Amino acid sequence: MKSFDEYRAAVENALGTVFRTLGPVPDALRNAMQYSLSAGGKRLRPVLLLAACEMAGGTEETALPFACAVEMIHTYSLIHDDLPAMDNDDLRRGKPTSHKVFGEGMAVLAGDGLLNAAVELMSGSVLRSFDIRHVKAMEIIMRHAGVTGMIAGQAMDLQAEGGPPDEQLLRYIHHHKTADLLMAPVEAGLLLGGADDAAIAAGSAFAFHLGLAFQMTDDLLDVIGDAHLLGKETGKDAEQHKLTWVSVRGVGETRRDAEKETELALQALEKLPGDHMLLQSITRQMTGRKQ
């Protein structure tokens, strides 16, 4: 299995060619889409997809279009999340957010464009392969990103602003707003690699617990993190009266809950085929991070 940096380099290279496959996109729209897509970031989700596919016996070539699509969907969600009507953020990854550079209207269209381009990318892979696993992988990704997945979590997150502490609602939000877009690449990657239903279920459980721990850590960092390291403002959750794990459980319990979810993720990982070392390392780094 490759290293995180090797997988990430493969993703960066593939993302650099995406716009050549889309045809004549208007310059203003292309620039706005490219600005956010090339702004850096961990590339965690596409790396998870590539690693999961290889663990199950698949190839990087098969998985790359789906890995790029997941990153494009993630980036579109961040562009929309940063808008004044949502989280109203001025910085993302240490750079001005899309709407600060291109205006709100073009930022909305850049997000829309990345989502649709992601579907085009996956559809092209389906048409070239005529492999039912590619069809199922696209369905998995779009379902986890859709109105019963990530978008459902975002909707409930908006609705919960200013409301009373509610741990059950918060767990729903974390599941869908964050964990769903980690479950999608792991499930899709395993499927593309030829994993059976039991392995895909174990991978889904791994990514679910990783997602909860990841979001709990994010909630902690908004309170105790370094804004310079994070590349975005801190203290925004409390300022906007967001429902967060810290607001419900406090700093100490949030730390302990994140550690528990991390251990549950690692336990689920043991049920997967192949070499687990990279995903174990990713899990510990992502949930113990400072940025």
The residues that bridge with 95 in the sheet, in sequence order, are 92
How many CA atoms lie within 13 Å of 72's alpha carbon, on the beta-carbon side? Answer: 29
Report the chain's mean pLDDT, rounded to a whole number.
Answer: 92
CB 66, CB 284: distance < 8 Å: no
The model carries a pTM of: 0.93
Q: Does the pLDDT at position 290 exceed 70?
A: no
Range ranked top by mean pLDDT from 159-163, 189-193, 274-278? 189-193
CA distance 73 to 283: 21
- Tell me: the pLDDT tens digits for 61-86? 999 999 999 999 999 999 999 999 99
Q: Which one, of 17, 52, 22, lies nearest residue 203 by Cα?
A: 52
**How confident is the model over 230-246, as a mean pLDDT?**
70
Structural domains of the chain, count: 1
**How confident is the model over 88-111, as a mean pLDDT?**
94
Written as one letter, the residue type at 70 is: V
Residue 55 sits in a domain whose CATH number is 1.10.600.10
| φ, ψ of residue 16 in degrees (nearest 5) | -65, -20
- Per-residue pLDDT, 233: 63
**How confident is the model over 178-189, as a mean pLDDT?**
98
Among 30-34, 36-40, 177-181, where is mean pLDDT lowest? 36-40
Domain residues for the domain of 143 are 4-287
Q: Which one, of 83, 244, 80, 90, lies nearest residue 162 by Cα?
A: 244
